Amino acid sequence: MLTTGLSAQPLPVYLDESKPVEQRIDDALARMTLDEKIAVIHAQSKFSSPGVKRLGFPDFWTDDGPHGVRPDVLWDEWEQAGQSNDSCVAFPALTCLAATWNPQMARLYGESLGEEALYRGKSMILGPGVNINRTPLGGRNFEYMGEDPWLASRMVVPYIQGLQSKGVAACVKHYALNNDEEYRHQVNVVVSERALHEIYLPAFKAAVTEAGTWGLMGAYNLYKDQHNCHNDIMLNQILKGDWQYDGVVVSDWGGCHDTDEAIRNGLDMEFGTWTDGLTMGATNAYDNYHLALGYKRLIQEGKYTTKELDDKVRRVLRLFYHTTMQRQKPYGFLCSESHYAAALKIAQEGIVLLKNEKLKDGKNGKMAAPLLPLDLSTAKRILVVGENAIKMMTVGGGSSSLKVQKEILPLDGLMERLANHNLQTSDVKCQIDYARGYVGDTVQSYNGVTVGRSIAERRSADELLQEAVGKAKGADYVIVFGGLNKSDYQDCEGHDRKDYGLPYGQDRLIEALALVNKNIVFVNISGNAVAMPWADKVPAILQGWFIGSEAGEALASVLCGDVNPSGKLPFTWYRRLEDCGAHALGAFPGTWRDDYKIIDEEYREGIYVGYRWADLPSKHQTSNFKLQTSKPLFAFGHGLSYTTFQMGKPQANSKHMTADGQISFTVSVTNTGSRAGSETVQLYVSDKHASVDRPVKELKAFQKVFLQPGETRDVTMVIGRDALSYYDEATHQWKAEPGKFEALIGTASDQIAAKCEFELK
Q: Contact, 156 vs 145, CB < 8 A?
A: yes
Shortest distance, position 176 Cβ to ligand BGC, whole Å: 13
Please give the Cα distance from 684 to 756 (Å, whole number).
11
Among 60, 214, 253, 741, binds ligand BGC (CB under 6 A): 253
Residue 72 binds ligand BGC, judged by CB under 6 A:
no
CA distance 27 to 39: 18
Q: Which residues contact 612 (CB under 8 A, 6 or more apart)?
A: 695, 696, 698
> Is 693 among the catalytic positions?
no
Q: Is 61 in the site for ligand BGC (CB under 6 A)?
A: no
Nearer to ligand BGC, 265 or 400 (CB): 400
Regarding 444 and contact with ligand BGC (CB under 6 A), the answer is no
**Residue 227 interacting with ligand BGC (CB under 6 A):** no
Counting contacts by CB under 6 A, is residue 64 touching ligand BGC?
Answer: yes
Number of residues that bind ligand BGC (CB under 6 A): 6
Alpha carbon 16 to its chain centroid, in Å, reads 39
Least CB distance to ligand BGC at residue 286 (A): 15
Between 110 and 503, whose beta carbon lies closer to ligand BGC? 110
Binning the chain into helix, strand and coil, the percentages to the nearest 5 are 30, 20, 50
Residue with smaller CB distance to ligand BGC, 250 or 577: 250
Q: How far is the CB of 274 from ligand BGC (least distance, A)?
A: 11
Maximal CA-CA distance, the chain: 88
Q: Considering only residues 109 through 128, tell me which ones interact with ligand BGC, judged by CB under 6 A.
A: 126
728 alpha-carbon distance from chain centroid: 28
Looking at the Cβ atoms of 273 and 670, the one nearer to ligand BGC is 273
> Residue 681 interacts with ligand BGC (CB under 6 A)?
no
Contact (Cβ atoms closer than 8 angstroms) between residue 134 and residue 141 = no
Could you give the CA distance from residue 428 to residue 443 in angstroms, rounded to a whole number? 38
Which of 64, 252, 268, 579 is catalytic? The answer is 252
By CB under 6 A, the residues from 507 to 566 that bind ligand BGC are: none
Q: Closest separation between CB of residue 254 and ligand BGC, Å?
A: 7
Q: Least distance (Å) from ligand BGC to the CB of residue 171?
A: 8
Please identify, using beta-carbon distances, which residue of 168 and 409 lies nearer to ligand BGC.
168
Residue 382: strand pairing partners: 432, 477
Terminal C-alpha separation, the chain: 59
- On the 0-12 / 13-18 / 19+ scale of CB atoms within 10 A, 443 is middle
Our CB check for ligand BGC shows the closer of 24 and 173 to be 173
- Rule CB under 6 A: is residue 395 a binding residue for ligand BGC? no
Provide, rounded to whole angstroms, the least separation between the CB of residue 362 and ligand BGC: 50
Residue 230 in contact with ligand BGC, rule: CB under 6 A: no
Q: Is 346 helix (H, G, I), strand (E, B) or coil?
A: helix
For 276, counting Cβ atoms within 10 Å of its Cβ (0-12 exposed, 13-18 middle, 19+ buried), the class is: middle
- We find the least distance from the C-beta atom of residue 592 to ligand BGC, in angstroms, to be 22
CB of 122 to ligand BGC, least distance (A): 12
Q: Which of 700, 681, 703 is closest to 748 using CA atoms?
A: 681
Rank residues 129 and 677 by Cβ distance to ligand BGC and give the closer one.
Answer: 129
Q: Figure out which of the listed residues 111, 182, 252, 698 binds ligand BGC, where binding follows CB under 6 A.
A: 252
SS3 label, residue 404:
strand
Nearer to ligand BGC, 160 or 555 (CB): 160
Q: Which is nearer to ligand BGC, 181 or 605 (CB)?
A: 181
For the window 167-196, what string marks contact with ligand BGC as x by the rule CB under 6 A?
------x-----------------------
399 touching ligand BGC, by CB under 6 A: yes
86 lies in the site for ligand BGC, by CB under 6 A: no
Phi, psi for residue 583 in degrees, rounded to 5: -85, -40
Residue 169: which H helix or E strand, with range? strand 169-175
Q: Whole-angstrom Cα distance, residue 126 to residue 400?
A: 9
Q: Judge contact between 59 and 35, C-beta under 8 A.
A: no
Work out whether 213 is an interface residue with ligand BGC (CB under 6 A). Answer: no
DSSP E strand boundaries for 619-738: 645-647, 651-652, 662-671, 677-687, 698-707, 712-720, 726-728, 733-735
Nearest residue to the partner ligand BGC, using Cβ: 399
By CB under 6 A, residue 144 contacts ligand BGC: no
Residue 238: CB minimum distance to ligand BGC, A: 21
Name the residues that contact ligand BGC, by CB under 6 A. 64, 126, 173, 252-253, 399
| Active-site residue set | 252
